[in-house]
């Protein structure tokens, strides 16, 4: 096809007015594209601000339900829950993850009881919020994370969450084979309707620091997670991870972190044509907040531009700590 040349072709014509820009816009961002990660803590009437995540707090279950109501009103379809576990409930084997009355289960049940199917609850499967060493799995004497032994515990954790009413199980641990094992057990235990959103391509990233403060594992973690989370240098390997998790029964996949990995989002979407989600992680949130506070740009514009970029790259949705703010800006 031969295209017109200047001056027959003037690409600025369609950009001239707001109505015309709206007509030719290729990508749309709505509150339905947002998943809101929330941190839950013990107690009643408790809000604990997280210093390294300005504007984000941990909430006790009662206040968390109030946040969930705000999310529904703003048009957010799903929450992602993470617990802050007190040191005395942590152990080497992360057994608190299997406690049917742990914070995650109580929070999930309370939100489901209050709101039913008005909002989805996505629960995190990994042991780092519960271990005394801060790793996502069980460790051997040398501190290495054991794969198959960890998967057995993750299956129990996933079932525990499903019994509490979780709608989407989201394994963020990066063990091999955990999606298949969890899927089989969910089917066997009568939870065939429960979705799995796999953190399929999760990188060993420097952008997770504030999250580790939020769940209380930063000071505990010795070493790093490079033995199971992916090398930031690898893209082909991300496609293999996604292929494996889809074959094992994942309903959707996630790429994490977000903005530095947009190429991965695009590649996964093009190759597999499945719902792809991306997590704009804590360090990314903190960077935007710091940039705005330093006067580097308008906060609202920075937030919406980055979220739109995920959609342009092919993401169905974004986990972001800016979800409520962004949803309100977008107007439900």
* Contact residues: ligand PBG, CB under 6 A: 124, 126, 128, 136, 172-173, 208, 211-212, 225, 281-282
What's the Cα-to-Cα distance from 239 to each of 157, 186, 242, 318, rounded to whole Å?
A: 27, 25, 5, 19
C-alpha to C-alpha distance for 225 and 221, rounded to whole angstroms: 9
Q: What's the DSSP call for residue 182?
A: H
The smaller minimum CB distance to ligand PBG, of residues 157 and 172, is found at: 172
The smaller minimum CB distance to ligand PBG, of residues 120 and 134, is found at: 134
The smaller minimum CB distance to ligand PBG, of residues 69 and 234, is found at: 234
CB of 81 to ligand PBG, least distance (A): 11
CB of 247 to ligand PBG, least distance (A): 22
CB of 25 to ligand PBG, least distance (A): 29
CB of 200 to ligand PBG, least distance (A): 13
Residues in the chain, overall count: 332
CB of 88 to ligand PBG, least distance (A): 21
* Residue whose C-alpha is closest to residue 32's, from 317, 256, 279: 317
The smaller minimum CB distance to ligand PBG, of residues 124 and 245, is found at: 124
C-alpha to C-alpha distance for 28 and 16, rounded to whole angstroms: 19
CB-hemisphere CA count at 13 Å for 226?
8
Going by their DSSP bridges, the two strands 57-60 and 47-49 should be labelled as antiparallel
CB of 19 to ligand PBG, least distance (A): 38
* Inter-residue long-range contacts of 178-182, CB under 8 Å, 24+ positions, other chains counted: 178/125, 178/150, 178/151, 178/154, 179/244, 179/245, 179/248, 179/249, 179/250, 180/248, 180/249, 181/151, 181/152, 181/154, 181/155, 182/125, 182/154, 182/155, 182/158
C-alpha to C-alpha distance for 258 and 52, rounded to whole angstroms: 19
* Catalytic (active-site) positions: 202, 256
The smaller minimum CB distance to ligand PBG, of residues 130 and 191, is found at: 130
The smaller minimum CB distance to ligand PBG, of residues 178 and 225, is found at: 225
Omega before 112 cis (within 30°)?
A: no
What's the Cα-to-Cα distance from 91 to each of 45, 140, 154, 162, rounded to whole Å?
A: 27, 14, 15, 23
């Amino acid at each position: 096809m031969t295209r017109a040349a200047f001056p027959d072709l003037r690409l600025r014509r369609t950009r001239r007015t707001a109505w015309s820009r709206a007509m030719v816009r290729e990508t749309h961002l709505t509150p339905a594209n947002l998943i809101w990660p929330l941190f839950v803590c013990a107690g009643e009437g408790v809000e604990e601000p997280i210093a390294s995540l300005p504007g984000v707090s941990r909430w006790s279950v009662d206040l968390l339900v109030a946040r969930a109501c705000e999310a529904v009103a703003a048009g957010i379809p799903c929450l992602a829950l993470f617990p802050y576990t007190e040191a005395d409930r942590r152990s080497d084997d992360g057994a608190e993850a299997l406690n049917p009355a742990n914070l995650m289960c109580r929070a999930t049940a309370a939100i489901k009881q209050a709101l039913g199917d008005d909002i989805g609850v996505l629960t995190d499967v990994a042991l780092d919020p519960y271990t005394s060493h801060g790793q996502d799995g069980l460790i051997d004497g040398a501190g290495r994370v054991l794969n198959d032994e960890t998967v057995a515990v993750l299956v129990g954790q996933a079932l525990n969450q499903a019994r509490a009413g979780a709608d989407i199980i989201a394994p963020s641990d990066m063990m091999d084979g955990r999606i298949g094992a969890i899927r089989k057990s969910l089917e066997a235990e009568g939870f065939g309707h429960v979705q799995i959103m796999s953190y399929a391509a999760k990188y060993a990233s420097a952008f997770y620091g504030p999250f580790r403060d939020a769940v209380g594992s930063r000071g505990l973690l010795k070493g790093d997670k490079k033995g199971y989370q992916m090398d930031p240098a690898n893209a082909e390997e991300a496609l293999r991870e996604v292929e494996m998790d889809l074959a094992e029964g994942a309903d959707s996949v996630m790429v994490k972190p977000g903005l530095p990995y947009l190429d991965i989002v695009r590649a996964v979407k093009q190759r597999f044509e499945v719902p792809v989600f991306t997590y704009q992680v804590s360090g990314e949130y903190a960077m935007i907040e710091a940039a705005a506070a330093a006067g580097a740009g308008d906060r609202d514009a920075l937030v919406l531009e980055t979220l739109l970029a995920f959609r342009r790259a092919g993401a169905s949705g974004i986990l972001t700590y800016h979800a409520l703010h962004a949803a309100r800006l977008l107007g439900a």
